Structure formats: C-alpha cells, structure tokens
C-alpha cells in the first residue's frame, strides 16, 4: 500500500526564539508543498529559506539564509492557497489517492482557520449567549480607547479621561481624617444618628414614577436624546446590525439512531453536510472477511429551523458460519434519503473478496472496500487524522466506523457499527 500523508490533530503554527546563530527551524505539522510554509521573524516575512519535508505526515524543517537575531521570535505557519485547481473527472471514479488529497487539504484548511479564529476576539462561554453582542471593532481613532457602549452590547471608541477630570485621593471625602465632618459634608450626619431617610439633607420626596415614554421604533431612526428605546426595540436593532457576524463551524455526531433537529442559528442559506457510513460486514469464520460499509456525503441548504431529520445508524455485522451483513445507516431530509449500506457478510468462497456496501442519495457516494481473502477491510470514510473504518486482520479487531470483520473467529470477526455526522457553519 502506498504511504499517504496524514493530517494529525496538531496546530498548524509553531514558534521558536532565535539564539543569533541558529538557521534551521523544525515544524511538526505536515505541508503539501514548499509554498504552503510561511516564515516570519518578529512578524515580518522572511525570504531566502530552503524548505524540506513537504508531503511528510510528521512535518519538516526550513533553513534560513541568515540566522535571525538573538531574542527574535521565529513563527512557522502552514498557509495554503485557498483555491480548487482541479475537478474529479466524469469519465471515471476518483482514486483513493485523489480523494485522500482532497480531504487532507480540506482538513488542513479547517485547522488553519481554527488556529486563526482562536486568536480572535470572542465571548466567554460563561456569558449569557442568548443576548446578541456585536464584536466588530470600530475604526481606529487617535487618542481613543476601546470599550463597551452604554448598553454593553457593542464595542466603541471611548475618549480618554484627563487627570483634571479624576477625583484624587486627597479630594475623596472618605479619606478625610475627621469622619464626622465627612458625613456632615455629604449630608449624612442626621441619617447616621436616626437611620431615617427623611433626615437626609436635601432628600427628594419619594413618590410614584411616571410611565416611561419609550421609543419602540426597531430602527432607532429618531436618534433622540430625549426618549429611551425599549428593550424590544434595542434587541431588534442589534439583531439587524449583527446579521452576518463571523461564522462558526458546528457539528453533531450520531453513533446510535436518533433525530437531528435543524438549529435556530441556521438560515435558509446555511449549507449542511451529512456524512453517512454503513456498518461493516461480519466475517465468515475460517473463510473470508466482511466488506466495509458504504459512505454517502450529502450537501444541502434551504432547511428550516426546527425541521427534524430521522437518523439511523447501522450496527456492525457479527461473525459466524455464516456471518451477518453490516446494518444500513441513513438520514431522511425532507423528501431525500441519504444511505450508506452495510458491508456484505463474508462467504464460504475462500479466495473471493467480499464486496463492500454501496451508497446512494449523496452528493458523493463511495462504496466500502472489499475484503481481502481471509481478511476484512474498512469503509472508505476518512475523518480526523485517520480512516474511520479499518477492517480487522487475523489478530486485530476492526476499528473506527464501518470496518469489516475478519475470517478469524471470536470478536476479530465482528464488523464495527456505522456513524452519521452533521456539519454546518452559522
């Protein structure tokens, strides 16, 4: 089998502090080509380096033409060109190598975007996330500070306070040596003696408050200093202004059957990706292994908030004489059904490979791999840094999701269950 690049769960950025003589700097993340590596010294691009290790799963190194000055920070970052330069041909099915390249580059791009997002301004999970907040930075203004507006729901530029506007410690009545005089200056001396609000010097008469003349216009078009906007008007205005905020990648994983409900953060234009993997087939003890589960990948939009989709996750086939086929995984999305069929069970025909499960209804339908003679094989679905459906061998279990069982008896001959993954950006 040809060794293929793997994309591990590792940050696509590494840093080191230069010592003034070092020219070679290692990076632990994989790159596909030399131009994918960006080198910066104290934030400025470095040129003239020689990159090695492109195509290796374990990373590589760069040799700079000139050693950076001692104490400077050297940053190595994978940064691909985000463009698709080729398409799968209609005349033939894509090869495993081509599919691996496409998926690896997609996962690598997601890692790069996730790393950049981790350095962005965001709210803590302890905040009340049901209240909309605009984190868009205002345009820079000289001599201004960044802060929250009066409603604490947007960032604004704030005028710096001069020292002449600050109450100094020496002017603070609480710091007067004569505390009785301080209370007298504040009109609190009678209250301190009686405890009665009515004894407060110059106290206003308490009464019932008049009804608030609130502005209920959701566009706040009046821009008035005399009327206060209602909570409902402010909420509607902020919702309009924050439409199209920075998106976040969401996902939901089903390892057992259930229901997917379209979330409230989705719109009619939100694109959903459904990945459906069937269960791996069980092996026929003493003869052949089971086939891998089929995989269907389906992209769709136009779903409505609260819409439900029935999710079925196929079980792994059991070994025996004969074994059983892997279960069918599926998702019903309105009038569309996306299916990953289970791998077929092993047969008593020694030397003849057992077919993998088929797939249907997807934007991309990938049949599971057939078993080798005497061994199970895995489904073709890849995820993370490894394939999610390796079949069992003579002395190891099937792993991941949709892997076929081997010809061997016991648990080695059992296929693994399928999986359904839903992903969207909102």
For residue range 368-377, list pLDDT tens digits in order. 888 765 444 4
Q: Same structural domain for residues 184 and 54?
A: no
Question: By the 8 A CB rule, do 388 and 371 touch?
Answer: no
φ and ψ of 382, to 5 deg = -115, 145
Residue 375 is predicted with a pLDDT of: 40
Do 361 and 266 lie in a common domain? yes
Higher pLDDT, 182 or 14: 14
Q: Of the candidates 312, 326, 329, which has an alpha carbon nearest to the alpha carbon of residue 277?
A: 329
Residues in the chain: 426
Is 316 found in the same domain as 284?
A: yes
Sign, CA dihedral 141-142-144-145, equals positive
pLDDT, position 383? 21
Give 333-358 pLDDT, tens digit per residue.
Answer: 999 999 999 999 887 776 677 888 99
pLDDT digits (tens, 9 = 90+) for 77-127: 988 887 777 777 777 788 877 777 777 777 777 777 777 777 777 777 677
> So what's the pLDDT on residue 176?
61
CA distance 121 to 144: 19
According to DSSP H, which parts of 37-178 are helical? 96-118
Tell me, yes or no, whether 266 and 177 share the same domain: no
Q: Does residue 285 register a pLDDT over 80?
A: no
pLDDT at 389 over 50: yes
The C-alpha atoms of residue 136 and residue 141 are separated, in whole angstroms, by 15
Q: How sure is the predictor about 380, in pLDDT bands with cuts at 50, 70 and 90? A: very low
Percent of the chain with pLDDT over 70: 78
Determine, yes or no, domain membership for 356.
Answer: yes
Q: Is the pLDDT of residue 204 over 70?
A: no
For 403-414, what is each residue's pLDDT tens digit?
887 766 555 678
Q: Is residue 117 part of a domain?
A: no
How far is the C-alpha of 297 from the C-alpha of 364, rounded, in Å?
5
Q: How far apart are the first and last CA of the chain?
A: 39
CB-based contacts of 384, cutoff 8 Å, min separation 6: 9, 107
Instruction: Examine the domain organization and report whether 342 and 371 are in the same domain.
Output: yes
Q: Which residues is 251 bridged to in the sheet?
A: 423
* 148 occurs within a structural domain: no
Pair 25, 174 in one domain:
no
What's the pLDDT at 384? 20
pTM: 0.43
Domain that holds residue 299: 247-426
Specify the DSSP class assigned to residue 239: H
pLDDT given for residue 386 in this prediction: 26
Residue 1 domain-assigned? no
With beta carbons less than 8 A apart as the criterion, state whether 104 and 5 touch: yes
Q: 257 and 377 share a domain? A: yes
**329 close to 278: Cβ distance less than 8 angstroms:** yes
Q: What pLDDT was estimated at residue 392?
A: 60
Structure confidence by residue, pLDDT tens digits, 20-35: 999 999 999 999 889 9
pLDDT at 393 over 80: no
Do the Cβ atoms of 392 and 378 come closer than 8 Å?
A: no
Annotate 294-357 with DSSP letters as a single string: PEEEEEE----TT-EEEEE-PPPPPPBSS--PPPPEEEEETTEEEEEPPPPPP-S-TTSPPPPP
| pLDDT tier, 260 (very low <50, low <70, confident <90, very high otherwise) | very high
Summarize the confidence of residues 262-272 as an average pLDDT: 91
DSSP for 371-397, written as a single string: PBTTB----S-EETTEES-PPPBTTB-
- Residue-level pLDDT at 208: 53
Same domain, 392 and 357: yes
Q: Which of 232, 346, 233 is nearest to 286 (CA)?
A: 346
Would you say residue 188 has pLDDT above 90? no
How far is Cα 151 from Cα 222, in angstroms, rounded to an integer? 18
Q: Is 181 domain-assigned?
A: yes
Residue 5 included in any domain: no
Domain count, the chain: 4
Rounded to the nearest 5°, which phi and psi values hold at 116?
A: -65, -40
291 plus 419 within the same structural domain: yes
Residue 205 has pLDDT above 70, yes or no: no
Handedness of CA 347, 352, 356, 357 (dihedral sign): negative
Asked whether residue 306 carries a pLDDT value surpassing 70, the answer given is yes
Same domain, 181 and 78: no
Residues 283 and 417 in one domain: yes
Residues 231 and 178 in one domain: no
Residues 6+ apart with CB under 8 A from 87: none
**280 is a domain residue:** yes
Token representation of residue 159: 């005028």
Token readout for 16 is 């080191």
Instruction: List pLDDT tens digits, range 151-180.
Output: 888 888 888 776 666 655 555 555 566 666
In a domain, 266, yes or no: yes
Q: Mean pLDDT, the chain, as a whole number?
A: 80
Residue that wins the pLDDT comparison between 305 and 171 = 305
User: Which helix (H) or strand (E) covers residue 184, if one does?
Assistant: helix 179-185
Q: Rounded distance, CA 328 to CA 339, Å?
A: 7
């Amino acid at each position: 089998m040809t060794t293929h690049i793997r994309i591990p769960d590792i940050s696509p950025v590494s840093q080191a502090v230069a010592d003034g003589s070092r020219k070679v700097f290692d990076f632990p993340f994989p790159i596909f080509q030399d131009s994918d590596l960006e080198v910066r010294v104290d934030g400025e691009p470095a040129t003239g380096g020689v990159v090695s290790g492109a195509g290796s799963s374990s990373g590589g190194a760069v040799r700079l033409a000139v050693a950076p000055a001692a104490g400077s920070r050297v940053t190595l970052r994978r940064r691909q060109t985000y463009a698709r330069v080729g398409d799968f041909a209609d005349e033939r099915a894509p090869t495993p190598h081509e599919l691996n390249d496409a998926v690896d580059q997609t996962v690598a791009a997601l890692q790069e975007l996730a790393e950049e997002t981790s350095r962005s301004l965001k709210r803590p999970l302890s905040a009340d996330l049901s209240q909309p907040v605009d984190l868009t930075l205002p345009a820079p203004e000289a001599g201004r500070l960044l802060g929250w507006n009066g409603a604490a729901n947007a960032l604004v530029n704030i005028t710096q306070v001069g020292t002449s506007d600050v109450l100094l410690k020496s002017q603070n009545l609480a710091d007067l040596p004569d505390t009785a005089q301080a209370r007298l200056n504040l009109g609190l001396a009678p209250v301190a003696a009686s405890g009665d609000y009515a004894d407060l010097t110059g106290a206003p008469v308490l009464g019932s408050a008049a009804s608030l003349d609130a502005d209920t216009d959701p566009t706040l078009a009046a821009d008035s200093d005399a009327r206060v906007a209602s909570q409902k008007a402010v909420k509607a205005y902020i919702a309009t202004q924050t439409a199209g905020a920075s998106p976040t990648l969401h996902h939901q994983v089903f390892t057992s059957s259930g229901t997917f409900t379209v979330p409230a953060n989705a719109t009619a234009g939100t694109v959903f990706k459904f990945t459906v993997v069937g269960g791996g087939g069980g092996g026929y003890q003493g003869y052949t292994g089971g086939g891998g589960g089929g995989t269907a990948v389906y992209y769709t939009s136009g779903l409505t908030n609260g819409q439900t989709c029935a999710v079925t996750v196929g079980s792994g086939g059991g070994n025996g004489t004969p074994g059983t086929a892997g279960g069918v995984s599926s998702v019903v999305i309105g009038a569309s059904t996306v299916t990953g069929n289970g791998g077929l069970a092993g047969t008593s025909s020694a030397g003849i490979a057992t077919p993998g499960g088929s797939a249907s209804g997807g934007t991309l339908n990938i049949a599971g791999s057939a078993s080798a003679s005497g061994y199970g094989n895995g489904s073709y679905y890849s995820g993370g840094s490894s394939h999610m459906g390796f079949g069992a061998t003579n002395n190891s279990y099937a792993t991941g999701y949709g892997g076929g069982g081997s010809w061997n008896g016991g648990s080695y001959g059992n296929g693994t269950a399928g999986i359904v993954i839903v992903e969207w950006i909102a």
